[in-house]
């Protein structure tokens, strides 16, 4: 089984060029033989992320994340290695049947298959079923063209409670799977299931790779409603491992290329706003799932554009939305701007009424969120004179205090701008900001729950055993063996595993030696199935990358072998000296002294 899995992993890896795979998630630009991009794993404010097709590796030189194509997919998708293997194998058209074990639960790839199937059912219903006539009429009245509807895969879910359940039965898709992906739910009385989406226009929600991961449903205006329990106008999929409304942006896959050309990504509030923008050639537009912009969104956005424009209409761009945007701005390295639309029109209405130019102009004239908030704060308090300046400053600094950064170029600039705009001494602004940050830390420490080990007098605290730092020559040995497996036979002949004192490194050495003894390539790909500790595996990838940087690995390997011989001799000398201290027999004493002399003589040559 190990052999089959390792061979399959290598086959999938060979078929999955890392630059192509990573390029599906984040924007990359060529730089010589490598590619550069914004790291999706931390708040990267400059392109720190390298993808090297020659080595089929990636590395962020800022946060340190690194690895191969499997590691990237695992890290970005937050999935296990078997799930990453399955996803990449499917993309490469490689079958996993020979080595797949009986699944213990629904796989991510299987869930994506069901979502794709469901999107096809809804789309087919919209275009072909008589009962979808009102849905087609509604979208026509919203001025959405058939081309736009097809491009975004819009569909319709009939009003009958078990339409999708019945179609799944015919397609031999289990009800458990449909429930897992949030398409159906159990009836209250416990017998049977019902469709979660009924009499709604369906908007498939896709991830950045255009895979359907959820749905949004808009109730038709003609749909009968209950007076005591009216249904929500918009209804999203249930939260699943595929779909989280706080993590997704509607239209991100379609907007990605246009955002690269425009230099920014615009965020609106509704599905139809996105559709109408794209229909009018303004393709750099996405929407949140009814949630405020948050840190999880930022992580996705970084791979697409470093500038984001939030769109508010003149009436709805209130303090709450701007304050949340400013909080994101001060706590993340992001060029965040605010665009307001004229006369309280939402993007869809503006585009239909006036065409794309006024909307595009509003996006291009967007003001950075800090300046926008400062203007609004001063306008609100200006009539109060000196006290108004204090209130405006308090409003700005209260949000800035949420940033964990004590000082940064961005903070310096913001403090300077507040001081200049409100005619307050910069020292005064800094003093007040530090006070607010100190108050916030004090408040958080009071509210923080006590650790369980302290709160309970019956459970003593348990500390993990501390592992001593590995010797440099032991680390170098593993770096070399991982980077150049052809050196393993030489290590086997010279260095027994017991000579490696660090337990973690010794475990990896033993696994490499075991692969060699079994006739398997002692490389990183064959090693992974032998390690059951994620931290050890992460360390191996790090050591592998460092080993690749050695200019002459065979020469360094000889130096490492010499160091192991020295350490082995030192241990034997120490053992002899210990025996000499306890020796009472003169002949034993002479024999030990002879051994010590031979070792010393051997070490001097």
Note whether 17 and 81 are same-domain residues.
yes
For 124, residues 6+ apart whose C-beta sits below 8 A from its C-beta are 155
pLDDT at 596: 64
How do residues 466-484 score in pLDDT, each as one tens digit? 445 788 899 999 999 998 8
Which of 429, 445, 461 is where one domain is finished?
A: 445
Dist CA 416 CA 272 (whole Å): 41
- Measured CA to CA, the distance from residue 19 to residue 300 in angstroms comes to 18
Residue 24 banded pLDDT, cuts 50, 70, 90: confident
Decide if 242 is inside a domain. no
- Residue 95's pLDDT is 76
356 and 272 within one domain: yes
Which of 92, 123, 148 lies at the terminal end of a domain, its last residue? Answer: 92
Region 27-31: mean pLDDT is 86
**Residues with Cβ within 8 Å of residue 35, at least 6 apart in sequence:** 19, 22, 23, 28, 29, 50, 51, 53
Are 480 and 423 part of one and the same domain? no
In a domain, 229, yes or no: yes
Same domain, 351 and 381: no
Tokens of 88: 């990449």
Pair 238, 182: CB distance under 8 Å: yes
Does residue 196 share a domain with residue 300?
no
Asked whether residue 131 is assigned to any structural domain, the reply reads: yes
Say if residues 467 and 503 touch (Cβ distance below 8 Å): yes
Domains: count for the chain: 5
420-438 mean pLDDT: 87
The pLDDT confidence band at residue 451, using thresholds 50, 70 and 90, is very low
| Of 546, 562, 557, the residue nearest 490 (C-alpha) | 557
Q: Which residues of 46-78 are buried (b: 16+ CB within 10 A; e: fewer)?
A: ebbbbbeeeebbbbbebeebbbbbbbbbbbbbe
Minimal CA–CA distance to 125: which of 200, 218, 16, 191?
A: 200
CATH at residue 549: 1.10.860.10
452 assigned to some structural domain: no
The owner of tokens 């509604």 is: 138
243 within domain boundaries:
no
Do 497 and 586 fall within a single domain?
yes
Give domain status of residue 450, yes or no.
Answer: no
My answer on whether 187 and 231 are in the same domain is yes
CB atoms inside a 10 Å sphere around CB 364: 13
Query: What confidence tens digit (pLDDT) does each residue in 308-323 have?
Result: 999 976 555 455 667 7
In terms of domains, do 229 and 322 share one? Answer: no
Dump pLDDT digits (tens) for 469-526.
Answer: 788 899 999 999 998 888 999 999 899 988 898 888 888 999 999 888 888 888 877 7
Residues 230 and 260 in one domain: no
Q: Would you say how long the chain is, in residues? A: 605
Do the Cβ atoms of 345 and 311 come closer than 8 Å? no
Q: What is the CA radius of gyration of the chain?
A: 31
Residues of the chain with pLDDT > 70, as a percent, come to: 83
Question: Do residues 144 and 88 share a domain?
Answer: no
Is 221 inside any structural domain? yes
Q: What is the pLDDT of residues 366-417, one digit of tens each?
A: 988 888 888 888 888 888 888 888 898 888 888 888 765 555 777 888 889 8
Domain boundary among 311, 341, 365: 365
CATH number, domain of 264, equals 3.40.1360.10
What's the whole-number mean pLDDT along residues 358-363? 94
Q: Is 540 left (phi over 0), alpha (psi -120 to 50) or beta?
A: alpha
Counting residues of the chain whose pLDDT is more than 90, the rounded percentage is 31
Q: What is the pLDDT of residues 211-230, one digit of tens each?
A: 999 999 999 988 887 556 67
Pairwise CA distance, residues 136 & 141, whole Å: 9
Tokens (6 digits) for 492: 């086997």
Q: 119 and 231, same structural domain?
A: yes
pLDDT at 92: 82
With helix as H, strand as E and coil as C, how does 306-370 read? CEEEEEEECCCCCHHHHHHHHHHHHHCCCEEEEEEEHHHCCHHHHHHHHCHHHHHHHHHCCEEHH
Same-domain check for residues 144 and 86: no
Q: Which domain holds residue 543?
A: 472-602
Position 360 pLDDT exceeds 60: yes
Q: Is position 39 within any domain?
A: yes
pLDDT at 198 over 80: yes
């Amino acid at each position: 089984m190990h052999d089959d899995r390792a061979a399959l992993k290598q086959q999938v890896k060979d078929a999955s060029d890392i630059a192509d795979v990573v390029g599906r998630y984040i924007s990359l630009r060529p730089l010589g033989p490598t590619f550069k991009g914004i790291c999706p794993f931390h708040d990267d404010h400059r392109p720190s992320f390298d993808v090297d097709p020659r080595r089929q590796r990636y590395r962020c030189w800022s946060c340190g994340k690194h690895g191969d194509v499997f590691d990237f997919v695992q890290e970005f998708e937050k999935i296990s290695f078997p799930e990453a293997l399955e996803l990449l194998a499917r993309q490469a058209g490689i079958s996993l049947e020979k080595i797949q074990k009986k699944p213990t639960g629904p796989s991510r790839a299987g869930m994506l298959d069901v979502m794709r199937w469901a999107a096809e059912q809804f789309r087919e219903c919209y275009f072909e079923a008589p009962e979808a006539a009102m849905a087609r009429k509604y979208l026509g009245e919203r001025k959405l063209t058939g081309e736009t509807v097809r491009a975004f895969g819009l569909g319709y879910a009939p009003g009958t409670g078990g339409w999708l359940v019945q179609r799944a039965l015919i397609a031999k898709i289990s009800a458990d799977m449909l429930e897992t992906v949030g398409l159906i739910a159990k009836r209250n009385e416990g017998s049977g299931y019902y469709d979660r989406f009924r009499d709604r226009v369906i908007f498939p929600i896709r991830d950045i790779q255009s895979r359907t991961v959820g749905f949004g449903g808009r109730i038709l205006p003609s749909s009968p409603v209950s007076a005591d329990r009216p249904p929500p106008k918009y209804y999203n999929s249930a939260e699943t491992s595929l779909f989280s409304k706080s993590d997704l942006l509607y239209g991100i896959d379609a907007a990605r290329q246009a955002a690269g050309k425009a230099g920014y990504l615009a965020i609106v509030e509704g599905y139809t706003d996105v559709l109408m923008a794209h229909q009018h050639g303004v393709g750099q537009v996405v929407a949140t799932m009814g949630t405020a912009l948050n840190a999880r969104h930022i992580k996705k956005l970084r791979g697409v554009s470093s500038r984001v424009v939030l769109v508010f209409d003149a009436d709805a761009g209130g303090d709450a939305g701007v304050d949340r945007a400013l909080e994101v701005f001060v706590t993340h390295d992001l060029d965040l701007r605010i665009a307001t639309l004229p006369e309280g029109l939402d993007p869809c209405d503006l585009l239909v009424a006036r065409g794309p130019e006024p909307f595009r102009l509003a996006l291009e004239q967007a003001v950075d969120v800090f300046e926008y908030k400062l203007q609004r704060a001063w306008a609100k308090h200006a009539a109060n004179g000196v006290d108004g300046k204090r209130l405006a400053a308090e409003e700005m600094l209260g949000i800035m205090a949420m940033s964990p950064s004590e000082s940064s170029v961005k903070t310096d600039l913001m403090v300077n701008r507040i001081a200049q705009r409100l005619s307050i001494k910069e020292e005064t602004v800094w003093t007040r900001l530090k006070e607010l940050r100190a108050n916030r830390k004090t408040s958080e420490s009071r509210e923080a729950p006590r650790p369980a080990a302290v709160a309970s007098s019956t459970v003593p605290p348990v500390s993990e055993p501390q592992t001593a730092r590995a010797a440099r020559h032991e680390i170098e040995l593993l770096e070399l063996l991982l980077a150049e497996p052809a050196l393993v036979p030489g290590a086997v002949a010279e260095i027994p595993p017991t000579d490696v004192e660090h337990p973690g490194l010794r475990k990896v050495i033993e696994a490499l030696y075991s692969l060699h003894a079994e006739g398997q390539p002692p490389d990183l790909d064959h090693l992974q199935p032998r390690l059951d500790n994620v931290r050890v595996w992460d360390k191996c990838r790090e050591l592998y990358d460092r080993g690749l940087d050695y200019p002459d690995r065979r020469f360094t390997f000889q130096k490492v072998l010499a160091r192991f011989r020295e350490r082995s001799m030192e241990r034997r000398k120490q053992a002899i000296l210990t025996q000499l201290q306890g020796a009472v027999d003169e002949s034993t004493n002479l024999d030990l002294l002879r051994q010590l002399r031979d070792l010393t003589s051997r070490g001097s040559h």
